[in-house]
């Protein structure tokens, strides 16, 4: 099994669609080295910020004053409303998918009365199908995990990297087994699927040497 990683995914609805704050880089601190951002392909009003930690230290990172201060500093640079900030335990390394030209983030919410075991079995089966898609067909790393926020404990995340939207739509069209699992998941979950090209936030010049030493 791969090392479990904790992802922090924050979604903002921007006041000005398609405008990424130039001040993001100036808001960086030493613990912001893994921060990535991207505008949603489906709706450019939505901006996503993504961080990743080794799960063995995520509880310290999520509750530390340094992380809280970093989040507050970055949040203050964004003109818009925060839609959510979630934390996910992902049982695969996320960086290949996050560094892909296009990252897919799917939020799955269990329907009332649905079995967690059934949902997890279906997600595992879906990821096994996606894993077999070769990189030559435009698919990068994929994985899934549960959201650990107390108010979202019935929700899951799927993370997949693609070369572009055509690779995604072609993969769905060419996989009857995948579509069958998606149809089964539709019976027990509600799905929100989004795509965005993510890029690393670049630090202010005086931090460049520090950042490079961590990459």
Residue 52, pLDDT above cutoff 60: yes
pLDDT at 23: 67
Q: What is the CATH number of domain 5-206?
A: 3.30.70.100
Question: CB within 8 A of 60, min separation 6: which ones?
Answer: none
Q: What distance in Å separates the CA atoms of residue 55 and residue 5, rounded to the nearest whole number?
A: 5
pLDDT at 66: 53
How confident is residue 197, by pLDDT bands cut at 50, 70 and 90? very high
152-184 burial code (b ≥16 CB/10 A, e <16): bebbbbbbbbbbeeebbebbeeebeebeebbeb
How confident is residue 53, by pLDDT bands cut at 50, 70 and 90? confident
Mean pLDDT of the chain: 84
- The arithmetic mean of pLDDT across residues 67-72, rounded, is 69
| φ and ψ of 175, to 5 deg | -125, 90
Q: Are 12 and 174 in contact (CB under 8 A)?
A: no
Tell me the longest C-alpha to C-alpha distance in the chain. 54
């Amino acid at each position: 099994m791969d090392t479990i990683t904790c992802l922090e995914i924050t979604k903002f609805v921007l006041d000005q669609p398609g405008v990424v704050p130039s001040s993001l880089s100036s808001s960086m601190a030493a613990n912001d080295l893994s921060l990535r951002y991207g505008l949603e392909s489906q709706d450019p009003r939505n901006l996503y910020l993504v961080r990743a930690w080794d799960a063995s230290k995520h509880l310290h990172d999520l509750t530390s004053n340094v992380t809280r201060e970093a989040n507050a500093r970055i949040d203050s640079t964004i003109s818009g409303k925060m839609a959510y900030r979630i934390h996910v335990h992902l049982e695969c390394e996320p960086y290949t998918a996050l560094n892909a030209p296009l990252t897919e983030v799917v939020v799955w919410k269990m329907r009332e009365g649905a079995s967690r075991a059934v949902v997890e079995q279906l997600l595992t089966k879906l990821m096994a199908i996606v894993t077999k898609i070769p990189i030559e067909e435009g698919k990068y790393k994929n994985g899934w995990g549960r959201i650990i926020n107390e108010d979202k404990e019935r929700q899951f995340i799927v993370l997949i990297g693609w070369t572009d939207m055509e690779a995604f739509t072609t993969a769905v069209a060419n996989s009857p087994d995948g579509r069958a699992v998606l149809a089964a998941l539709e019976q027990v979950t509600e799905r929100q699927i989004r795509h965005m090209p993510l890029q690393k936030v670049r630090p202010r010049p005086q931090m460049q040497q520090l950042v490079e030493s961590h990459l």
